[in-house]
Amino acid sequence: MTKDSIADMLTRIRNALQRRQATVDVPASNACRGILGVMRAEGYILGFDEIPDGRQGLMRIQLKYGPDGEKILSHIRRESKPSRRVYKKVEDIEPVLGGLGTAIYTTPQGVVSDRQARRLKVGGELLCTIW
C-alpha cells in the first residue's frame, strides 16, 4: 500500500509509456478514478476498466499512442504532494503550455481540468499537469 496513490498511478503510467505497453493496472481509488476520467475526456488515454480483485480493486488503463506509435502523453507531473499542497484560486488558474497541456484540479464540483475549472469559476487543489 502506498501513501500517495495519485503519484503511484502517474509513475505507473509514465513507466508503461516508456515501455510502449498497451495497458497498465493501478490500484483503484476515487481520486485516481477522477483523474482518469479527465484524462479520457481530454484525449490522453483511450479509457479504463474496473477490475474487482476481492480487495480495493484495480483499474486497467488503455494507453493511447499516435498513428506511428509515438506517445500522446510526453510529460506527466504530480504538482500537489502530501508534503506540499498547491491550491489555486480561479483567477490564478492559467493554461498549461498556452492551452496545449492540461492541469487537473480537485474542486468542490469534483475532479476537473483547468478549462472546466475556469468555465465553472472554481478553484481548488492542483493535482497534476500533463502534456
Please report, for the domain that includes residue 106, its CATH number.
3.30.1370.30
- Which long-range contacts does 37-43 make (Cβ < 8 Å, 24+ apart)? 37/111, 38/102, 38/104, 38/111, 38/112, 38/113, 39/104, 39/130, 41/113, 42/102, 42/113, 42/130, 43/72
| pLDDT tens-digit readout, 39-76 | 999 999 999 999 999 999 999 999 999 999 999 999 99
Instruction: Report the number of distinct structural domains present in the chain.
Output: 1
Q: What is the band of 16 on the pLDDT scale with cuts at 50, 70, 90?
A: very high
Residue 40 domain boundaries: 5-130
End-to-end CA distance of the chain: 28
| pLDDT tens-digit readout, 78-95 | 999 999 999 999 999 999
Asked if pLDDT for residue 1 goes beyond 60, the answer is no
CA dist., res. 25 & res. 61, Å (int): 6
